Structure 1
Amino acid sequence: MAEFSAEILLFLLAAGFVAGFIDSIAGGGGLITVPALLLAGVPPVTALATNKVQGLFGAGMAAVTYARKGHVNLRRQLKPAALSFAAALLGALSVNALPTELIRWILPILMVAIALFFALKPGLDDSDRHQRLTPAVFALTFAPLIGFYDGLLGPGAGAFYMLAFVAMAGHGILKATAHTKLLNFASNVGGLAGFLLVLSPLWIIGLAMGVAQMAGAYVGSSLASRIGARLIKPLLVIASSAMALKLITDLF
Structure 2
Amino acid sequence: MFELPLDLVVMLIGAAFAAGVVDSIAGGGGLITVPALLLAGVPPVQSLATNKIQGTFGAATAAISYAASGHVVLRKQLLAAVIGFLGGLAGALLVSRIPTDKIEIALPFILVAIAAFFALRPGLDDTDRVQRIRPGLFTAAFVPVIGFYDGLIGPGTGSFFMIGFVTLAGYGVLKATAHTKLLNFSSNIGGLTGFLLVGSPLWVLGIAMGLAQIAGARLGSRLAMRVGARLIKPLLVTTSTLLAAKLLWDLM
Query: Normalised by the size of structure 2, how large is the TM-score?
Result: 0.98
In the alignment, residue 160 of structure 1 is paired with which amino acid? F
Task: Give the Cα separation in 1 of the matches to 2:3 and 2:123.
Answer: 51
State the SS of the aligned residue for 1:141: helix
> How far off its partner does 1:5 sit?
2.2
Number of the residue aligned with 1:166:
166
Query: Corresponding residue for 1:185?
Result: 185
User: In structure 2, how many angstroms separate the alpha carbons of the residues matched to 1:39 and 1:112?
Assistant: 25
1:223 corresponds to: 223
Partner of 1:30: 30
Question: What is the Cα deviation at residue 33 of structure 1?
Answer: 0.4
Question: What letter corresponds to residue 87 of structure 2 in structure 1?
Answer: A
* Cα shift at 1:99: 2.1
Q: What are the residue-to-residue correspondences of 1:94-243 with 2, within 5 Å? A: 94-243=94-243
The one-letter code matched in structure 2 to 1:133 is: I
Compute the displacement of 1:123 (Å).
Answer: 1.2
DSSP-derived class of the 1:169 partner: coil
Percentage identity across aligned positions?
63
Q: Distance in 2 between matches of 1:2 and 1:46?
A: 10
Q: Distance in 1 between matches of 2:96 and 2:36?
A: 26
Query: What is the rounded CA distance, in whole Å, between the counterparts of 1:87 and 1:240 in structure 2?
Result: 22
Task: Give the structure 1 partner of residue 39 of structure 2.
Answer: 39
Residue 200 of structure 1: how far off its partner (Å): 1.1
Q: Secondary structure at the match of 2:98?
A: coil
Judging changes above 3 Å, is the alpha-carbon distance between structure 1 residues 245 and 72 closer, same or farther for their aligned structure 2 residues? Answer: same
**Larger displacement relative to structure 2 (11-20 or 1-10):** 1-10
**AA in 1 matched with 2:31:** L
Mapped partners of 1:219, 1:107: distance in 2: 29
User: What is the Cα deviation at residue 198 of structure 1?
Assistant: 1.3
The alignment covers a number of residue pairs equal to 252
Gap runs ≥5 in structure 2: none
CA shift, 1:4, in A, is 2.3
Q: CA deviation at 1:94?
A: 1.4
Provide Cα deviations, 1:104-128, integer angstroms capped at 9, x if missing partner: 0010010000000000011100000
Cα-to-partner distance string for 1:172-226 (whole Å, 9 max, x where unaligned)? 0000000000000000000011101112100000000000001000000011001
- Per the alignment, residue 60 of structure 1 pairs with 60
Using the TM superposition, give the Cα deviation of residue 8 of structure 1 relative to its aligned residue in structure 2, in angstroms.
1.2
Displaced runs of 4+ in structure 1, greater than 3 A? none
Which residue identity does 1:85 align to in structure 2? F
Aligned to 1:79: 79
* Alpha-carbon distance between aligned partners in 1 of 2:92 and 2:38, rounded to the nearest angstrom: 21
* Amino acid aligned to 1:200: S
Q: Kindly state the Cα deviation for residue 41 of structure 1 after the two structures are TM-superposed.
A: 1.3
Deviation, structure 1 residue 22: 0.2
Find the aligned partners of 1:94 and 1:218 in 2 and give their Cα distance.
33
In structure 2, give the amino acid aligned to 1:242: L
Q: Deviations over 1:55-97 (max 9, x none)?
A: 0000000000000111000000000010000011111111122
Output the TM-score relative to the length of structure 1.
0.98
Q: Which amino acid aligns with 2:36?
A: A
Letter in 2 for 1:193: T
Q: Secondary structure at the match of 2:129?
A: coil
Provide the C-alpha distance between the structure 2 equivalents of 1:201 and 1:4, rounded to a whole number of angstroms.
13
RMSD, aligned CA: 1.1
Q: Structure 1 residue 2: deviation in Å? A: 8.9
The range that moved more, 168-177 or 36-45, is: 36-45
Q: Which blocks of at least 5 consecutive residues in structure 1 are unaligned?
A: none
Please identify, of 161-170 and 89-98, the stretch whose mean Cα deviation from structure 2 is larger.
Answer: 89-98
